Chain A
Amino acid sequence: MSKKYKLKRLLVRRYQILAAILFILAAGLVLLPKYKKNEGIAPDQFVKNIISSERYISTDLLADRLVNQDPTVLLIDTRSEQEFNDYALPNAINIPLKDLLNEDFDGYINQDVYDIILYSNENFYADQAWIISSRLGYTNLYVLKGGLNEWFDTIINPKLPDETMPQEAFDLYSFRKAAGMYFGVGMVKSEVKKVTKSKPVKKVVTIKKKKKRVPEGGC
């Protein structure tokens, strides 16, 4: 009898009990996001990204794309403003590493139209910028392998290959030489030295005129 009574009492309050369970579960949801604190991608994916060398672009490839005026290339200089003002690659945009996450620059980095190529003096800072952006899940970002130091070694001052090297080395050299000229090596018009050899003086052979001889009297 008492059992039945209890059940009845429980049934009367069934809505309250159900509501209470839902309420507790809802409260549990508040605790859940604690595990989802991960900003951006998960660590496992992150490791895969950082050990992959797909992000590096060689100076030769970059030079080739710039010379061919590839409209999808956008260069980003991650060095300080001062260094950027001293020298920067043509048409580069300066985003100092410390301002990488600045909202003003978000439009440049978080996009999928351009191939963004990050560079610095080496590729240390550029790589750090890349790693942070990659954690946020940004794509289309590349790093100039070796940075400006490599750029100057290969494009601006290419080394003449040894004579024993294969033809490819020479082809590469002449490509670099030509690319270097595109980027301004030897572009100032130096006075074209007109070496005009002085005209050799005509040798004038003066032939002694024979004096008109006064007709000698005959005999």
Chain B
Amino acid sequence: MKELEKTKRISISAVLFLLIVTIAILTFEKPENVFEKNTEATLQEIVSNNYILTLSELDSKESSQYQLIDIRSNFEYTKGHINDAINISTHDILESGNIELFDELVESNKIAILYGEDPNDANRAWMLLYQLGYENAKILCVETNYIDNKFQVSNHALEKPAVNYAQVMQLAKSAPTETKKAVTKPKKPKKVITLPKKKKRVPEGGC
């Protein structure tokens, strides 16, 4: 009798255990997007600077080799964009349709060239894509702005110091912009009115 009770307990717990495991497996959701690259690998890629394209490098490539991607908002994109560019703003990259598009680009050996307001803007999207494992993504090192309501793209000097900092500081130190000249007001000389003393006249001899 005791033996039977023991068996019952074991089988109940075994069934429960299996039930929990099956529920866990059924509810387990495989994350849609997973980072393929770890931070170390990303950092190495960042330092290599291989991911930056200039306008002239872009011109030397055939248009079949790449796909331009505008990562600004849809509003900015409709105002103006580079020809043949498509719009995928940074926060929409993870959407399944867009991820498929990037997968297609990888399959067809095309480079995904990202651009935004400035390289800094494109950098966010690039870092996301690179860490997701899309090694074919690159940043177009340009600024986009409007001159006379016309969309303009110009090269951007990345991380270039605008001035020689040390020199400027040296100059700024030695040539103060506002020197307060200590002007000591000259004392006004007291006006001395010298009264001509009347001389005692020696009595002149009278008559």
* A interface residues (Cβ-Cβ under 8 A, vs B): 11, 14, 18, 21-22, 25, 35, 37-40, 42-44, 46-48, 50-51, 83, 86-87, 97-98, 100-101, 120-125, 127-128, 131-132, 135-136, 148-149, 152-153, 156-157, 180, 184-188, 190, 192-200, 202, 205, 207, 210, 212-213, 215-219
Contact = CB atoms under 8 A, between A and B. Distances in A.
A193 B180 CA distance: 9
28 contacts: A14-B10, A40-B39, A43-B31, A43-B128, A86-B166, A87-B169, A125-B159, A131-B124, A156-B169, A156-B172, A157-B168, A184-B169, A185-B173, A186-B175, A186-B176, A186-B177, A188-B176, A192-B181, A193-B182, A194-B182, A196-B186, A198-B186, A199-B187, A200-B186, A215-B202, A215-B203, A215-B204, A218-B206
B162 A202 contact: no
A186 B181 CA distance: 14
Interface stretch (B53-61, B62-70, B86-94): B86-94
B184 to A, nearest CB: 5
Contact of A38 (B35, B176, B192): B35
Contacts of B169: 87, 156, 184
B165 A148 contact: yes
A196 B203 CA distance: 52
B120 interface: yes
A132 B42 contact: yes
Contact of B205 (A39, A199, A216): A216
A187 B180 CA distance: 13
Contacts of B124: 50-51, 127, 131
A27 B40 CA distance: 30
B94 A128 contact: no
A50 B159 contact: no
Given A18-B10, A47-B94, A124 B173 contact: no
B18 to A, nearest CB: 7
Nearest to B42: A132
A197 B181 CA distance: 13
Contacts, number: 180
A28 to B, nearest CB: 9
Nearest to A187: B173
Contacts of B119: 124
Given A50-B128, A132-B39, A190-B174, A97 B204 contact: no
B1 interface: no
B149 interface: no
B183 interface: yes
Contacts of B196: 207
B199 interface: yes
A203 to B, nearest CB: 9
A24 to B, nearest CB: 10
B207 interface: yes
A21 B207 contact: no
A50 B46 contact: no
B31 A35 contact: yes
Contacts of A190: 174, 176, 179
B158 interface: yes
